[in-house]
A = this chain, B = another copy of it.
Amino acid sequence: MYYVGIDLGGTKIAAGIVDEKGTLIYKDSVPTKRERPYQEIIKDMAQLTLKIIKDKGLEVKDIASIGIGSPGTPDSKTGVLVYSCNLNFDNVPIREEMRKYIDLPVFLENDANCAALAESVAGAAKDVDDSIAITLGTGIGGGIVINRKIYSGFNCAGSEIGHMVIVSDGVECACGRKGCWEAYASATALIRQTKDAANANPESKINELVKGDLNKIDAKTAFDAAKLGDPVGEKVVNQYIKYIAEGLSNTINSFMPEAVVIGGGVCKEGEYLLKPLRERVYADIYCKGSVPKPYIRVAEMGNDAGIVGAAMLGK
């Protein structure tokens, strides 16, 4: 049997066919055009699903289920998307609408949770039962997998790990709180920290790398400067790694997963990021005596994590 996974984003709807091992064998996408009524968006999801099944030479009876990963807070029991800021959906009955077009079981989950499930089924956490996946992107997304199943809490609103305050009364976060991990350790935060350092230190390699145009600073700039031996770049990177470690150690102390998987563009820095991060986290977490410590690994599923995880909801 095969599984269809759909990654319903604010910009595009990506759908794929996934086998039982979590391998993506075919995918396609259409634009979301999110300003439309939800009925039209969901109709497009259904048609895209039927199209990829046909394109791959399969029939609906070859598909076990359809899984949908969406931003916001879905109710996975009822299949209703209760709340989504990105999609402007409010109590939208996604499952019911989908089933108007295709007679298959439809599962619904938060997209960050789907990404965590993908890592658990076929990625960097496939050898462990309990894992957490964190994505350091525009914000910080998090998903918890316990006993190889997503844990999203009684109201399916978990796990907003990025909205954990690590600096009481700190930098304002988009969620309304002050000092969230996301406001210090997301890629967006790193860019802000790099810009602040460049402004305060016009002689730094950071400024040189972007030829004085601070708007060109991205999440790589401080790392590039640090690798060139720039003390300002090094300071930004060290502080940023400390912020990642702070929230990661908090998360580990609370959940004690066997593996933490970190994703997002910044992970391309590889061991340059991971080695000092592990050192900090292993010094900080509450694993005393001979108690074993969790693995800290880089995500492996890349951009397809959302599709694969959504597909695996039905497995």
Interface on A for B, CB 8 Å cutoff? Answer: 72-73, 82-83, 85, 90-91, 128-130, 142, 144, 146, 151-161, 163-168, 170, 175-177, 184, 242-243, 246, 249-251, 253-258, 283-284, 286-294
Contacts and interface: CB of A to CB of B under 8 A. Distances in A.
A168 to B, nearest CB: 5
Nearest to A294: B154
Chain A contact surface mostly: loop
What number of copies of this chain does the assembly contain?
A: 2
Contacts of A291: 73, 82-83, 155, 157
A43 to B, nearest CB: 24
Contacts of A156: 256
Contact of A158 (B166, B249, B254, B290): B254
Contacts of A293: 155
**Best-buried of A164, A258, A293 by chain B (most CB within 10 Å):** A164
A105 to B, nearest CB: 22
A75 to B, nearest CB: 9
Contacts of A155: 256, 258, 287, 291-294
A312 B196 CA distance: 55
Given A82-B289, A128-B154, A168-B184, 13 more contacts: A82-B291, A83-B288, A91-B290, A130-B154, A142-B254, A153-B258, A154-B258, A157-B287, A159-B255, A164-B254, A165-B249, A168-B170, A254-B255
Contacts of A256: 152-159
B290 A82 contact: yes
Contacts of A85: 288
Contact of A166 (B128, B129, B168, B284): B168
**Best-buried of A83, A153, A161, A291 by chain B (most CB within 10 Å):** A153
A159 to B, nearest CB: 5
A254 B161 contact: yes
Nearest to A181: B250
**Best-buried of A243, A246, A250, A287 by chain B (most CB within 10 Å):** A250
Contact of A286 (B129, B160, B249, B290): B160
Contacts of A288: 72-73, 83, 85
A51 to B, nearest CB: 32
A243 B289 contact: no
Contacts of A73: 287-289, 291
A125 to B, nearest CB: 11
A170 B155 CA distance: 33
A165 B290 contact: no
A290 B83 contact: yes
**Best-buried of A85, A90, A154, A293 by chain B (most CB within 10 Å):** A154
A122 B292 CA distance: 33
A287 B314 CA distance: 26
A283 B163 CA distance: 13
Given A130-B153, A154-B128, A291-B157, A251 B254 contact: yes
A163 B253 contact: yes
A249 B292 CA distance: 28
